[in-house]
Amino acid sequence: MCLALAIPFYPEKLLTPLFGEISIVSKNFLPFTVFGNSVVIAAATAIYLLIYNIIWHKKTKTTLFEENHKNESFWRKILVLITGYKVSIKKLKEKWHYYPLEDVIEKEENKVQCKLILLPSDKEREAIVERLVKAIEDKKIQDRVWASPGLPMLIFITAGLITTLLLGDFVWIFVSFLFG
């Protein structure tokens, strides 16, 4: 709302986007374009995380998913690959903005079952971290666990504003490219 009040229209007299003309949406209501660019940038983090995980896997020569995750579906594993990466349990405990993407369930005395979590909850975070710490201390799972960085949308909105002013409307550029 503050952005809509501060810069309701594209500042044509101050800036010209590097990629072509100013879109109709930007001319009439700039915050829609900023929001569209923000969503595109936020979605691009999934591509970044997937590439990061593949490079990490190749570099460390370790498996992405341990034997404990063999019962998880292929699509659940893909969603975890594009929303998080492996971090040490120490980092997960110290940094409040990391959310665990896996949990452990005690099965037998020396066995645990790991399950991947797609929608981590802030309420359950501490309990899950404690269960993971206990399982690692008991040497039932490895030291590195799947976690998602909790990135606030404000970061993407700021990046969306900068890219809108400098580059233009990503959606408009894509549609113009498709339809000439």
- Per-residue pLDDT tens for 143-171? 899 999 988 899 999 999 999 988 888 88
User: What is the pTM assigned to this prediction?
Assistant: 0.81
Strand extents, DSSP E, the chain: 85-88, 98-100, 102-106, 112-116, 144-149
Q: What are the backbone dihedrals phi and psi of residue 44, each rounded to the nearest 5 degrees, phi first?
A: -65, -20
- Per-residue pLDDT tens for 118-152? 888 889 999 999 999 998 998 888 889 999 998 88
Distance of CA 152 to the CA centre of its chain: 10
- What is the rounded distance in angstroms from the CA atom of residue 107 to the CA atom of residue 23? 58
Say if residues 46 and 82 touch (Cβ distance below 8 Å).
yes
Residue corresponding to tokens 């995750």: 69
Residue 5's pLDDT band, with cuts at 50, 70 and 90, is confident
HSE toward the beta carbon, residue 178, CA cutoff 13 A: 6
Residue type, 60: T
Q: Is 109 strand, coil or helix?
A: coil
Burial code (b: 16+ CB inside 10 Å, e: under 16) for 103-122 equals bbeeeeeeebebebbeebee
Q: What are the backbone dihedrals phi and psi of residue 146, each rounded to the nearest 5 degrees, phi first?
A: -75, 135
